[in-house]
Amino acid sequence: MRPFLYSRATSLEQAMSEAAQSHAAIMAGGTTLVDLMRGDLTGAEHVIDIGHLPGLAKVELDGPVLRFGALARMADVAELPFLKQNYPALVESLQLAASQQIRNAATLGGNLLQRTRCVYFRDGVSDCNKRVPGSGCTALDGEDREMALFGASDRCVATYPGDWGTALAAFDTSIEISSAAGTKTVKFADFHVAYGDDPARESILQPGEIVTAILVQATPAGRHSTYVKVRDRQSYAYAVTSAAVALELDGDRVTAARVSLGGVASKPWRAPAAEAALVGQVLNQAVALEAGRAAFADAKALRHNGFKIDLGARTVARAAMVAKGKH
Amino acid sequence: MTSITLTVNGEPITATIPPRLHLADFLRDHLGLTGTHLGCEHGVCGACTVRLDGAIVRGCLVLAVQADCCTVETIEGLSDSGEVADLQHAFAARNALQCGYCTPGMVMTAQDFLLHAPADASRAAIREHLSGNYCRCTGYEAIVDAVETTLNARRTS
Ligand SMILES: Cc1cc2nc3c(=O)[nH]c(=O)nc-3n(C[C@H](O)[C@H](O)[C@H](O)COP(=O)(O)OP(=O)(O)OC[C@H]3O[C@@H](n4cnc5c(N)ncnc54)[C@H](O)[C@@H]3O)c2cc1C
Ligand code: FES
Ligand code: FES
């Protein structure tokens, strides 16, 4: 690893001003950043460790809003009884991610901002528009089984890997961002940048901006929610396909639905067509599969990832039926 | 260089180190605690598992400077204190190791499971908790057996 300057932030103000300088990188748990720096993938010369800042790890119900401090640890949040009961999709997305050692160190804010696992980005040598803008995308005629069906372009076809972000897309979520200029909130849908649009950027975050909280609008749909993750092995792997579904029900009839997809898109991906296919229907297996198919109607397959269209549709269908069965 | 003060296996330690040194290298190269192994150095294999402030983490994904003011426990600490003596016996009795490379990390993670698991925890729960630790030679059957044996023995003792 290249040498770098390290400072441990003792206040948010200090962290924001240091992070505004060039070649600075924020570190929360470090489970993504340390690995990227070892691969010389960040250009960071100054690491600002915010991991010990006080007050940013709380999870609380603030009126109609669930407020998750950006430094809350994945493992801790996955154990919160209130959340398990009322928002199973959020808890499951954390439980099914990574391993205990990683969840103990990793934060919710860092999880959102983890970078793609695309091998051509991570190997540090292949042509990659994300790493070296303009150099090309090796995945276009390389191994593309892991690559995206949505939000890709001929410049980048990588997938966004996070589970927590995918689950958040099934709720009315915003991100609280703090900088020297003050605090603002942005809609979650506007927070990540589709890799296909601009491979070099992954979020709208600017130097000096720090994610301080994740805000989820409280909803009765939380109770009828789930996160289903399909992996190449039963545990400890990124999603091949995943889906979060949150429902409001009147008996067996769906009155409101949110559906999001993971493992198949270049950012946390909401599927409005699947939502429309569910609302107003008496939910059964056939309706659920119909909704799954609707979610993938616009999918653009590459050479080796077309199987995810059917698998993904079935993942959505399973999630819809599981969500219905929760109470 | 940065100066850090931390507690390792109950002993206070002060050291001056480069920020890029990760915790596993610090433990191995600076303190001679070579029970913490390094396999992949990408956070994948679990050979580097140590406790940081009571919670298991990847020693290869934590910088030593991040552990400033913290408490670290390694396999040497758990072994010397006798905390995992029964688990170690169960591993040996069930031949749950061959080359032994993964074993320190496996024991750290298994002990973490045993401390937090309900007494009626299933075999599936053991497998899930150990899934972040790779073993490339023994196979997991014997390892899960050893953890299950220890779980049952601790429950009845
Ligand atoms: C082997 C392995 C398996 C994994 N499997 C999964 C999986 O199955 N599912 C999954 O979802 N994830 C998985 N992960 C990813 C893991 O969850 C992330 O590494 C972790 O959540 C990142 O959190 P962190 O706090 O460690 O972030 P850091 O490494 O500290 O930071 C990550 C990035 O976010 C930035 N950042 C962090 N916090 C903030 C903030 N508050 N404001 C602004 N910028 C910030 C950093 O600058 C950095 O660029 C896996 C990781 C590994 C190593
Ligand atoms: S060496 Fe740390 S996880 Fe493999
Ligand atoms: S005993 Fe050899 S890797 Fe597990």
Q: How many CB pairs under 8 A join A and B?
A: 77
* B148: in domain: yes
Q: Please name the residues in contact with B153: beta carbons below 8 A apart, sequence gap of 6 or more.
A: B86, B90
Over its C-alpha atoms, chain B yields an Rg (Å, rounded) of 16
Instruction: Say what the pLDDT of residue B11 is.
Output: 98
Interchain CB distance below 8 Å, B132 and A8: no
Q: Are both B131 and B106 inside the same structural domain?
A: yes
Average pLDDT, chain A: 97
Count of structural domains, chain B = 2
- Residue A154: count of CB within 10 angstroms of its CB: 10
Q: Are both B62 and B92 inside the same structural domain?
A: no
Q: Are both B118 and B149 inside the same structural domain?
A: yes
Residues of B near A (CB-CB distance < 8 A)?
A: 2, 18-20, 22, 41-43, 46, 49, 52, 55-58, 60-63, 65-66, 68-69, 109, 112, 127-129, 131-133
Please, what is the angle between helix B85-93 and helix B103-116, to 10°?
A: 120
Instruction: Say what the pLDDT of residue B149 is.
Output: 97
Alpha-carbon span A299 to A237, nearest angstrom:
23
Q: Are both B88 and B136 inside the same structural domain?
A: yes
Q: Please name the residues in contact with A314: beta carbons below 8 A apart, sequence gap of 6 or more.
A: A289, A292
Q: Are both B89 and B53 inside the same structural domain?
A: no
Alpha-carbon span B88 to B96, nearest angstrom:
9
Q: Are both B58 and B93 inside the same structural domain?
A: no
Express each pLDDT in A144-183 by its tens digit.
999 999 999 999 999 999 999 999 999 999 999 999 999 9
| CATH number for position B38 | 3.10.20.30
Per-residue pLDDT of chain B (157 residues; tens, 9 = 90+): 999 999 999 999 999 999 999 999 999 999 999 999 999 999 999 999 999 999 999 999 999 999 999 999 999 999 999 999 999 999 999 999 999 999 999 999 999 999 999 989 999 999 999 999 999 999 899 999 999 999 999 998 8
Domain boundary among B25, B50, B74: B74
Please work out, in degrees rounded to the nearest 5, the angle formed at the alpha carbon of residue A320 by the alpha carbons of A318 and A202: 90
DSSP string of A195-243?
Answer: TTT-TT-SBS--TT-EEEEEEEE--GGGTTEEEEEE-SSSSSS--SEEE
Domain boundary among B15, B41, B74: B74
What order of strands is seen across the sheet that includes strand A24-27?
A5-8, A46-49, A24-27
Domain that holds residue B110: 84-156
Instruction: Say what the pLDDT of residue B25 is.
Output: 98
Instruction: Say what the pLDDT of residue B144 is.
Output: 98
φ/ψ (deg, to 5) at A51 = -60, -25
Establish whether this prediction's ipTM goes over 0.90: yes
- Please list the ranges in chain A whose pLDDT falls under 70: none
Alpha-carbon span B82 to B46, nearest angstrom:
22
Cα A320 off chain centre by: 20
Instruction: Say what the pLDDT of residue B119 is.
Output: 86
Instruction: Say what the pLDDT of residue A237 is.
Output: 96
Interchain CB distance below 8 Å, B132 and A101: yes
* B79: in domain: no
Q: Which of B2, B56, B69 sits opposite A6 (nearest CB)?
A: B2
Express each pLDDT in B59-82 by its tens digit.
999 999 999 999 999 999 999 999
Report all structural domains of chain A as residue ranges with CATH numbers, in order of start. Answer: 1-52 (3.30.43.10), 221-325 (3.30.390.50)
